[in-house]
Structure 1
């Protein structure tokens, strides 16, 4: 819930509230307070990083990357693999 609050605060341009929420998450993991840039882009990067590690086994990463249009940052393990940002439209639904 704290990460959702941080994300909503960033989107509402309440950057201090977002930073405070991120510090709650960081402090719970025995990390120091966030000391990076106080911009929406930097806080979004930190929020996504905290979501990556806080929710690592809940399969949220791909949805986060799609939502922020960062799917192209995923590593490609095998030549020819592709990362799709949208599911294909079934053929019967295109007629």
Structure 2
């Protein structure tokens, strides 16, 4: 007894009315949390808020709004890191000048 298995091929095609799929939008939430814990906290907290808004905007279908929130979260993370580096430089330079005097 032999069995014949017929394979069916299903053609997957995109609907002609739909446009191209939008690129995924990163929320930068992990980066924002790390910036909050390690870097300048006020800017890090703001970055966490903006990063949290990315998912909400995507759920509402507002892709451009999600991209704006994502860019702002990334910018706030960079600003938080820059402020932290600036503070550290001020402390190191100040400490170096103080140790030469005393």
* Fold shared, TM-score > 0.5 on shorter chain: no
Q: Which has the higher contact order (CA 8 A, sep 6+)?
A: 2
TM-score w.r.t. the length of structure 1 is 0.29
TM-score w.r.t. the length of structure 2 is 0.27
Larger helix percent = 2
